[in-house]
Chain A
Amino acid sequence: MRWIEDRYHALRALVRRGQLETDVSDELEFHLAMRTEEYVARGMTPEAARAEALKRFGSVDAYRQETHMIDRGLAREVRRTELWDMARRETRQALRSLSRSPSFAWMAVLTLALGLGATTALYSVVDAVVLRPLPYAAPEQLVWLDSPVPKLGPDAKWDLSEAGFHHFAREARAFASLGAFDQYNGSLAADDGATRVDVATVSAGMMDVLRARPALGRLITPDVDTPGSPRVVVLGHDFWVRRYGADPRVVGTSIRLDDEPTEVIGVMAPGLHLPDDTVDLWAPLRMDPTSPPVNSHWVRTVGRLREGFTVEQAQAELTGLTGRLPELFPRAYQESFIRETGFTTRVMPLARHVVGDVGRVLWILLGSVALVLLIACANVANLFLVRAEARRRELAVRSALGAGRGDLAWHALTESLLLCGVAGALGLLLAHGALRLLVSLEPTGLPRLREVGLGWHGVLFASGLALLAGGVFGLFPLLTGNKDLARLRESGRGLTASRRSNLVRGGMVVGQVGLAVVLLAAAGVMLRSYWTLHRVDPGLDARNVLTFDIVLPRTRYTNYDEVNRFHREMLARIEALPGVTSASVSTHLPLRRFGGCAAMAAEGQSTEPNKQPCVTSPGAAPGYFKALGIPLVQGREFTWDDLEQKADGVLVTKALAERLWPGQDALGKGIRGNGLGPPYYRVIGVTGPLRAQGLDKPPSEAVFFPLAPAEGLPLWGPRRSPTVVVRTATSRPELLTPDIRRILAELDDTVPMANVETMERVVAKSPSVARASFTLFLLGISGGMALLLSAVGLYGVIAFIVGQRRGELGIRLALGARAAQVAGMVVLQSLRFTGLGIVLGLLGALAMGQVLGALLFEVSAADPLVLAGVCGLLVTLAVLASYGPARRASRVDPAEVLRSE
């Protein structure tokens, strides 16, 4: 191939190094020879002449070196300019040729840019959340420890107990270090009232586990991590910048945290947070290893594996150590407890704990946009093909005039690389925008969100795809090989599309329809799933309710009386606001914070294995059920009188009542947590079914306790970071926020207000709904794009075929075929493609269902209604897409066609 040879030689001459050396030597030799000849002519002997010539010349070595260096520089420049010139020349030519068909260029660029942008955006999310290691040193050594209690519920798990944590930290050899932590909302005093801060209380070991380094000062060390040591904090880097303007002088000063003076001892290195949450302040956890062991599992634990140890080895060791708990701490861990709960200790890679099963959703979504990209590529390939057909005559002429086949391929490649390059750049912009939007929407349940963005991985990914697409499209028309030259000689009109390229084209349309069916089916079942989820009755009335969290500094509010006095005063003032119907407060909030798994005992029932209830136990103030719109099916709710008299009434959810006392009247029944035997709390009311843990979960089992314990009955200590709920008569309850803020400031300006949200937002942001809407949103976009792109693809191909068969159609019409018959033929062709595509697509959809199943709520992945709907949609589409071409076909003028033949 001539063009290849030409280019080869040009490049070769440019890069040859040895050539330069020879040139320099030759030039020198020529000079010396001439001079020698001159001297010989003057009568010198050849030897003397040569010596004289050399002397005259000066230092040969210096000459060689200097000259060679200059030449090398020159060669580099020439090489650069030649390459640059070639690129410019080809680009200019490609631009000129593209500008002659701008609609083709724009169509191709926009289609590809959309596909590339969407794919790159989702790839970036997958990369940041799933693929990239956690942002710590040697993250593969980090593990998460917890205690599954499978007999309390399929997914039930606790954290570790203090006794267990210390036991493992002392004995386990598999860990280089273990770190414990907890989190709470602190109140930080400021000139303009208090702010809520996210405080992580961590053991000194946690610093080793995370390999944390201070940016300033020092971190949490064992000497400040002991009970009774002075109060200290380390500032999170972001918080230090945001709140203190990165002023280094803040280290060593005292701040008022939870209304107590606390010394700032350091600033954390930038970017270091807890594995699954951001941290404003780091404070010592100050556990006491000598305190008596209790069966309370609140210690969240991260470990770092010792060099050379695997997760499996750590698991084996932990299982052994857990087995010794009853023997070591007989009071806290009875054998019966282990038996009845199925208590074990589990270790897993930290990344898996953080990412959870979100990875699965993300991969599915990435897969779906990749399919969209594929459909887009089929369209673009089609555009290239049509363009190649249209230019076939031009190309044939050019090659007849001496342009090599290689030259033509080279031009096609440049053109397509140019298009794909522009599309890639545009796609990157789109991806950047989409990612910014995603991060700003803060979808719940998407971990590591703060790490999501368009990084160099994404740029590389998009560039790679664009380059690949450019190469494929550039060389694609070659596939539909031809003998244009021969054809040109035969007849100018013989240049119709080859059978082979028609086959390629048809195959692509069938594939497109198939992929569209898969994506639409996925979006369809997701829509049904979302719809079903949406129609689930949470068991409360989320309309017109405002919720927010408060934090009562633990130094000011030491006992139940102080906490409850504040609540009563605050609620009274809020209820006095115009537009407020009722207000109350609780330690939990359905669909946002309704966890916990406490063992409850009902009076007169033995706790059998497998029947041990795993029950949530919130505390609620009077008026709570009215404020949240939770109906009572029986009995009544708390009153302030109950609270004052320390009455022993509790409310249970319907689900719990039905399980504990099936077929009986629950009112008056006795129930208590933490152990057996009287006295008991008494049920005074039963709520309707309440799905507080997620709309996709069964109705919750919960006991609502009063905010203070009854006489002689145990209850947890007073809870100082509760959630307030305010029911209003208006549909915009958030407008009350400033008034409520003012009330809080008047009552106690150390109490911060945070997480202000309407209850409707809380429902929408609850994990199951948020995930369903996130998935649906993205699948919907994918499906919509697939539909649109396939319609365009189908239209393009049908229109092309009609154009190609004009002659035949004209003859048919001339022979007496009716216009409707001809139009019907065209529509039928479109339906044939679509039908084949639908069959393939349905198979694909069933396969996709296997993957999608786990994401669906009460809908089968092969939902017949959805599949039928999708088929109907595509058949309609096939008819619509062929309508225009069919009309054109039926209006072909036979006379004109025959004349031109």
Chain B
Amino acid sequence: MQVDLLQGTLDMLILKTLTGGPMHGYAVASWLQRTTDDALCVEEGSLYPALHRMTRRGWVKADWGVSENNRRAKFYTLTAEGRRQLKEESSSWERLTQAVAKVLHAQPATQGA
């Protein structure tokens, strides 16, 4: 089963992916795919605008380089600011999921109790 991603969550996932070191877009897409066992539906086309937007915000830095099979490719590197952003987003994400989980596991109260 595939799950749609919330806007902003993609950014977080990309940032997380880049903690492994500089990567080009294709590598990011492949890694995400592998890691989630294809559970997340990432339309690859939307990956790049996200990468470029984060470049503009200064979360990642883009440089042209040569890929493992000798092709010109653009590599993205996480910046200090990007790291900070990732930390913030993942902690708020965790708070969200914990809160949601609490609700899902709780016993609803009966009226007038």
Contact = CB atoms under 8 A, between A and B. Distances in A.
B71 interface: yes
A58 B43 contact: yes
B17 to A, nearest CB: 15
Taking each of B26, B45, B49, which has the highest tally of chain A beta carbons within 10 Å of its own beta carbon?
A: B45
Interface string A98-121: 000000000000000000000000
Main secondary structure of the interface of A (DSSP, over half): helix
A56 interface: yes
Interface string A632-676: 000000000000000000000000000000000000000000000
A155 interface: no
B24 A71 contact: no
Interface string B62-73: 001001000111
Contacts of B48: 27-28, 31, 63, 67
A31 B46 CA distance: 13
A74 B60 CA distance: 13
A35 interface: yes
Contacts of B24: 30
B26 A58 contact: no
Interface stretch (B1-9, B50-58, B79-87, B95-103): B50-58
Contacts of B67: 30, 34
Interface string B21-42: 0001110010000000000000
Nearest to B51: A67
A816 to B, nearest CB: 76
Name the residue among B29, B48, B55 with the largest chain A CB count within 10 angstroms. B48
Given A67-B48, A73-B56, A27 B25 contact: yes
Contact of A77 (B26, B53, B56, B74): B56
Contact of A67 (B43, B49, B71, B73): B49
Nearest to B25: A31
A298 interface: no
Contact of A70 (B29, B46, B49, B74): B49
A59 B43 CA distance: 9
A462 to B, nearest CB: 40
B44 interface: yes
Contact of B26 (A26, A35, A63): A35
A537 interface: no
A868 interface: no
Interface string A39-76: 00000000000000000111110110011001101100
A33 interface: yes
B68 to A, nearest CB: 10
A28 B71 CA distance: 13
A752 to B, nearest CB: 71
A23 interface: yes
A56 B46 CA distance: 11
Contacts of A26: 72, 74
A393 B56 CA distance: 46
Nearest to A68: B52
Contacts of A74: 52, 55-56
Categorize the interface residue count of chain A. Answer: 20 to 34
Nearest to B56: A74
B53 to A, nearest CB: 5
Contact of A30 (B43, B45, B56, B71): B71
A74 B52 CA distance: 9
A687 B59 CA distance: 96
Contacts of B55: 70, 74
Nearest to B53: A70
Contacts of A62: 45
A57 B56 contact: no
Interface residues of B, number: 20
Contacts of A59: 45
Nearest to A61: B45
Contact of B45 (A33, A57, A70, A73): A57
B44 A56 contact: yes
A57 to B, nearest CB: 5
Contacts of B26: 30-31, 34-35
Among A26, A34, A74, residue most surrounded by chain B Cβ atoms (within 10 Å): A34
Given A30-B67, A30-B71, A58 B56 contact: no
Nearest to B24: A30
Contacts of B25: 27, 30-31
A31 B25 CA distance: 7
Contacts of B56: 70-71, 73-74, 77
A67 B46 contact: no
Given A35-B26, A77-B56, A66 B74 contact: no
A26 B25 CA distance: 12
A789 to B, nearest CB: 53
Most central of A27, A58, A71 by chain B CB within 10 Å = A27
Contacts of A30: 24-26, 67, 71-74
B44 A23 contact: no
Contacts of A70: 49, 52-53, 55-56
Given A27-B25, A35-B26, A71-B52, A58 B46 contact: yes
A56 B33 CA distance: 12
A767 B95 CA distance: 86
Contacts of A34: 26, 67
Contacts of B46: 58, 63
Contacts of B44: 31, 35, 56-58
Nearest to A62: B45
Residue from B44, B46, B64 with most neighbouring chain A CB atoms (10 Å): B44
A34 to B, nearest CB: 4
A74 B25 CA distance: 18
Among A28, A35, A62, A70, residue most surrounded by chain B Cβ atoms (within 10 Å): A70
Nearest to B74: A27
B72 A67 contact: no
Given A71-B52, A74-B52, A74-B55, A23 B45 contact: no
Contacts of A56: 44
A472 B52 CA distance: 45
A490 B62 CA distance: 51
Contacts of B43: 57-58
A63 B73 contact: no
Nearest to B45: A58
Interface string A66-91: 11001101100100000000000000
B91 to A, nearest CB: 27
A33 to B, nearest CB: 7
A73 B29 CA distance: 25
Interface string A219-254: 000000000000000000000000000000000000
Contacts of A58: 43-46
A58 B48 CA distance: 11
Contacts of A35: 26, 44
Contact of B71 (A33, A60, A66, A73): A33
Contacts of B64: 23
Contact of B74 (A23, A57, A63): A23
Contacts of A23: 64, 74
Interface string A7-31: 0000000000000000100111011
A67 B53 CA distance: 8
B18 to A, nearest CB: 16
Interface string A542-566: 0000000000000000000000000
A59 B44 CA distance: 9
B49 A66 contact: yes
16 contacts: A26-B72, A27-B74, A30-B24, A30-B25, A30-B73, A35-B26, A58-B43, A60-B45, A66-B49, A67-B48, A67-B49, A70-B49, A71-B52, A74-B52, A74-B55, A74-B56
Given A57-B44, A58-B43, A70-B52, 15 more contacts: A23-B64, A23-B74, A27-B73, A30-B72, A30-B73, A31-B25, A31-B26, A56-B44, A58-B46, A59-B45, A62-B45, A63-B46, A63-B49, A70-B55, A71-B52
Closest 9 CB pairs of A and B: A58-B45, A58-B43, A70-B52, A66-B49, A63-B45, A74-B56, A34-B26, A57-B44, A31-B26
